[in-house]
Structure formats: C-alpha cells, structure tokens
Amino acid sequence: MAPKIQPNPQKAATILAWFHKTAQAHSVKDLEKTLPQVGAISGMHVKDYLQALADDNKIRVEKIGSGNWYWSFPSDEKKAKDAALEKAQDEFDRVNATVMELQAKVDEAGAARADDEDVLTETGGDRKTLIAKHTELAKELEKLRTELAAYSEQDPVEVEKKAAETQKARDEAEKFTDQIYSMEGWIKTQCAGDKEAITNVLKMLYDDEYDEEDGGLREL
C-alpha cells in the first residue's frame, strides 16, 4: 500500500537514523508514541513514514503475533547502498563499451568515406539505443543524488564516500554525453551544413530527447 502523504526526506532520514541507533525491533504501538517526537511529525503520519521507508527497503517489517514489527540496522542500509551503486557502475561500464564500439564504427566509416545514407542506416538503431541510455542514466544519477541527500544525517565518512561515487558516476555520464555530441558533429559535417537535413536526422535519432531550442540532445 502506498503512503497517503509524501514523507519529508530529512524527517525520514532522522527516523531511519533513530532506528539504526536503537538497533532493535519496535511494534507499531510503540512507534506511534515515539516517532512523533523523534521525527517532529504528526502521530497520524507515523504509518505513512513507516510505509515509505519499508517501500524503499530502508527498514524491514515482519508480522509477529498480531501486529507488525519494524527495525533497521546500519549494515542493512550500507548493503543496500553498495548494491545500488554497484548496479549503476555496471550500467555505466556497459554503456561506455557500447559508445566505444559505436565510435569505432563511425571513425571507420568516416575514413572510408562511406555513403552517408548507408552509414545512418547501419548505425541508426545503435544511436537510438544510446539516446535511451542517456535518459535512463540521467534518471539514475538523480535518484542517487536524492538518496545521498536523505543519507546526509548519518555517518560522515559514509556520506563522503557516497558523494565521491556519485560524482564519479556523473563524470562518466558527461563523458558518455560528449561521445554523443562528437557523433552529432560528425553528422553535421557529413550533411555539409544543410540545416534542414541535420535537423531531420537529429530529430530521428534523438526522438523525445531532441531539444528544439538548442537544436540537439537535451543536457543532463
């Protein structure tokens, strides 16, 4: 069941830190008495915060006897963060390999001065995939930034580590975007400055990610 309200990220982080500090399971009845003071929230919203934290896998919940019990240990949070970052890193590695492979094809086609239409037909599908990946990675970065903000009141050493990993992910995403812009420049060169032809090709490749104002791919 989704929470009835959108929990405040900072208050949710405060409640999560309290769970880590207590390092024990709590009944709903006890939490309804304690969490309003801990997180400065209304008693009516306690279950909404618990549901949101459980949905995000921040806390664990099990039915014991006639009611639910909630708990979360720091090690559980760290494992979840590490798994999310590892997954993001794997995705970046896969995309980077795809970019390198496609760039090699483009360079080879340029050296051989292959027919423009044939080159677009041969590599167009891969480029569309890259544009989709660009959007997906931008969303993943935003999610990591949000999680990092919610994590800010916890272990400073861990926060610094997460900040460095998030910045690394952004740097790799920007490098990936530079590769796309490089291919965009190559297309403009091949179209010999024909603005209409360039616009049509870029719109076909970028689809919803085409920026009418800038005449190219949307920025991250």
Domains defined for the chain, CATH in brackets: 9-72 (1.10.10.10), 75-217 (1.20.58)
**DSSP conformation letters of 200-216:** HHHHHHHGGGEETTTTE
Amino acid at 13: A
- Report the DSSP beta bridge partners of residue 69: 27, 62
Q: Which position has the higher pLDDT, 94 or 170?
A: 94
CB neighbour list of residue 144: distance below 8 Å, 6 or more residues apart: 84, 85, 88, 166, 169
Residue 63's alpha-carbon distances to 26, 60, 66, 68, 114, in angstroms, are 11, 10, 7, 4, 66
Q: What is the pLDDT of residue 92?
A: 77
Strands 26-27 and 67-71: antiparallel
Q: What is the pLDDT of residue 117?
A: 43
Extract the tokens encoding 163.
């900040």
**In this predicted model, what pLDDT tens digit does every residue of 170-213 receive, in sequence order?**
777 676 666 676 777 777 777 777 788 777 777 776 666 677 77
Q: What is the pLDDT of residue 119?
A: 44
Q: Which position has the higher pLDDT, 117 or 44?
A: 44
CB neighbour list of residue 28: distance below 8 Å, 6 or more residues apart: 46, 47, 50, 67, 68, 69, 70
**In this predicted model, what pLDDT tens digit does every residue of 121-141 receive, in sequence order?**
454 445 566 666 667 777 777
Decide if pLDDT at 118 tops 70: no
Mean pLDDT, the chain, rounded, equals: 73
Q: What angle do CA 184, 188, 191 make, to 5 degrees?
A: 135
Residue 166's alpha-carbon distances to 19, 143, 162, in angstroms, are 25, 10, 6
